[in-house]
Amino acid sequence: MIKFFRKIRYDLMEKKKTGKYLKYAIGEIILVVIGILIALQLNNYNESLNQSNQELKALNNLKLDFKYNESELNKSIIELKEINNACFTILNQTGNKHEETFDIDSLLQFTPSVPQYFPQNGFLMDLMNSGNLGIIKNDKLRYKLSSWLPALETLKNRENLTSKFDDILIIYIIKNGSWLNSDEKSSDKEINALKFPKSGFEINNNDLLQNIEFENLIENQIVYKSQLLDNQIVCLELIREIIMLLESETNE
């Protein structure tokens, strides 16, 4: 093709048809420019298609992570509500409210505990660490994803603070009650598998219900676990917003 155009130019020059040569040269330049523009468009199209494929893959991977995160956080919320209910049950038996038929042992070890939440953030961290979060075109989704790690950090800080108050209650029970008595009534398979012996001391954990310090510690458990529950619910709402946006993007 190049030889063909070159021959035409030589013929025009030899025949001294300068005007036609100039017109031809201009036309050839225009064709070259058009060819370059078409090549650039094709290159841009291929890059755009590649980026769209990368974005779709990232969105699907993120959706897997956040659906897992939603499931795990739901489990933590359910467990935390059960712990709070156990605390309220104990609180309704303190002092002169105590009923002789009530047995605190089955609830006691369940009370000073915090469900630990361990989300999966591998795909999100990869995008953020590589600077590729920008491949996600949806501005709202990108903003929500950027908000997830700070929200999770707030949640983990609240978990740690709540755990500190658990430690205070555990130490109090160590000094004033019997964990062996509580273990005997435990429904936890791992604890039962240890096959602890009975306590060698004549002690009744129901006596804890007559101590105002114990009542205050249980009340504090409810306060701090309720605050943790509030943080969990905030995170759960954010996860659901992210999943909704991810599904909207991947279903288009």
Q: What DSSP assignment string belongs to the chain? A: -HHHHHHHHHHHHHTT-HHHHHHHHHHHHHHHHHHHHHHHHHHHHHHHHHHHHHHHHHHHHHHHHHHHHHHHHHHHHHHHHHHHHHHHHHHTTSGGG--TT---HHHHTTSS--PPP----HHHHHHHHTT-GGG---HHHHHHHHHHHHHHHHHHHHHHHHHHHHHHHHHHHHHHS-HHHHHHT---HHHHHH-PPPPSS---GGGGGG-HHHHHHHHHHHHHHHHHHHHHHHHHHHHHHHHHHHHHHHT-
Q: Is residue 14 part of a domain?
A: no
How much is the average pLDDT of 102-128? Answer: 92
Using 50, 70 and 90 to split pLDDT, how confident is the model at 187? confident
Question: Among 18-22, 78-82, 200-204, 212-216, where is mean pLDDT lowest?
Answer: 18-22
pLDDT of residue 19: 55
Please indicate, yes or no, if residue 231 is contained in any of the structural domains: yes
Owning domain of residue 77: 56-250
The per-residue pLDDT for 5 is 47
**Euclidean distance between CA atoms 43 and 50, whole angstroms:** 10
Taking 60 as the threshold, does the pLDDT of residue 8 lie above it?
no
Type of residue numbered 121? N
Q: What does pLDDT average to over the chain?
A: 86
Within a domain: residue 31?
Answer: no
Asked whether residue 15 is domain-assigned, the answer is: no
Whether 23 is covered by a domain: the verdict is no
Percentage, residues of the chain above pLDDT 70: 81
Segment among 170-174, 187-191, 231-235, 243-247 with least mean pLDDT: 187-191
Q: What is the pLDDT of residue 96?
A: 94
Whole-number pLDDT of residue 111 = 92
Residue 17 lies in a domain: no
In a domain, 137, yes or no: yes
Whole-angstrom Cα distance, residue 173 to residue 85? Answer: 19
User: What is the predicted pLDDT for the residue at 51?
Assistant: 60
Percent pLDDT > 90 in the chain is 62
Total tally of structural domains belonging to the chain: 1
Q: What's the first-to-final CA gap in the chain, in angstroms?
A: 44
Is position 163 within any domain? Answer: yes
Query: Which pLDDT belongs to residue 49?
Result: 46
